[in-house]
Amino acid sequence: MIERLNHVAIVVPDLNVASILYRDALGANVSEAVELPAHGVSVVFVELNNSKLELIHPLGPDSPVAKFLQDNQAGGV
């Protein structure tokens, strides 16, 4: 049985827009964006009561998630 989920990663087309949407829709605390060049992404964490959402956006066209976002323009899990 799963008792707790640490986080779910969601690729988003616009990190700023998604951060505002999740903050306003869920009343959640949202971290500042952090660039992780070694992973080719920028991330924001949305703090929920018992888990987190990790919003991910590619830093450039060579990012591991850039192809996913190209194929799924609205983003996704």
* Domain map (residue ranges) of the chain: 7-71
What confidence score (pLDDT) does residue 23 get?
93
Please count the CA atoms within 13 angstroms of the CA of 2 that sit on its side-chain side: 6
DSSP type of residue 46: E
The pLDDT profile of the chain, 77 residues, written as one tens digit per residue, is 777 778 889 999 999 999 999 999 989 999 999 999 999 999 999 998 888 999 999 999 999 899 989 888 878 77
pTM, rounded to two decimals: 0.88
What confidence score (pLDDT) does residue 7 get?
84
CATH architecture of the domain with residue range 7-71:
Roll (3.10)
